[in-house]
Amino acid sequence: MDAAITARVVERLPQLIGSDRLAEACLLLATFVEPELDAVTYLGRLDRMAAAVQGHTHLSLRRIISIQEGIGGNTEDYDHIDNGFLHRVLDTRRGLPIIVSVIWMEVGRRAGIEVQGVALPGHFLVFAGGQLVDPFHFGEAIGRDEAAVLVSESIGGPPRLEPTWLNPVDSKAIMRRILANLQSRYEKLGDQANLGWVRACEAAVSPH
């Protein structure tokens, strides 16, 4: 764990989260694995996607993000560590539900479309233009019954959906979940070096 990078990130991360700049916050995390990462290039990709959006519905976003860009979930190698980093997901067009959802939120914000994150147990959705959408499954519009099935498939048990699970979550909660995903995967890999910076970032985002 590079002490200089860690000090810079833990100072900057809460500021970005506090101003709802999720894409920049995610790219800041990426500097731990790619210190020379050019964040401007990736932010530019989000800008270009947003500029291509026509209309103000979930279909407007789906047309660009899911269909034109082909961005969706990595079902073939779900647990790969790259799926948890925004820059890798923009490169490979495959990632975890929460990172693909961040792309929807950030493109939507730039295009003037309200997109809010929904943190289900074991899965992540968005409300886009008032419609519940599954970015992982290439922007499919879903209802409560389908959402309940997604929860069941993720954590087991019969399909169920608590009303509070559909409450939109803020940037801080989203970043905590992103970091929790990274921690889980690094723990499985036994990667103590990378676990160090993940825990430092968790402490910065949610100080006790």
First to last CA, the chain: 22
Q: What is residue 128's three-state secondary structure?
A: strand
pLDDT at 2: 77
Look up residue 159 and give its DSSP letter: -
Residue 160 lies in a domain: yes
**pLDDT of res. 121:** 95
- Indicate yes or no: pTM above 0.85: yes
Whether 23 contacts 46, CB under 8 Å: yes
Q: What is the DSSP letter of 112?
A: T
Mean pLDDT estimate for the chain: 96
* Predicted local distance difference test score (pLDDT) of residue 3: 83
pLDDT at 80 over 90: yes
Domain that includes residue 78, residue range: 45-190
Domain total in the chain: 1
pLDDT tens by residue, 127-155: 998 999 999 999 999 999 999 999 999 88
Question: Distance between CA 24 and CA 19 in Å, rounded?
Answer: 10
Residue 208 predicted with pLDDT over 70: no
Share of the chain above pLDDT 90, in %: 91
**Percentage of residues in the chain with pLDDT exceeding 70?**
99
> Given this model, what pLDDT does residue 37 score?
96
pLDDT of residue 5: 87
5 in a structural domain: no
In angstroms, the Cα distances linking 163 to 160, 167, 168 are 10, 8, 11
* pLDDT category of residue 17 using cuts at 50, 70 and 90: very high
Provide the pLDDT for residue 4: 85
Whether 76 is in a domain gets the answer: yes
The pLDDT of residue 119 is 97
**Model pLDDT, residue 150:** 93
Q: Quick check: is 174 in a domain?
A: yes
pLDDT of residue 1: 61
The reply to whether 9 falls in a domain is: no
Q: Is residue 197 part of a domain?
A: no
**109 within domain boundaries:** yes
Q: Within a domain: residue 99?
A: yes
Mean pLDDT of 77-100: 98
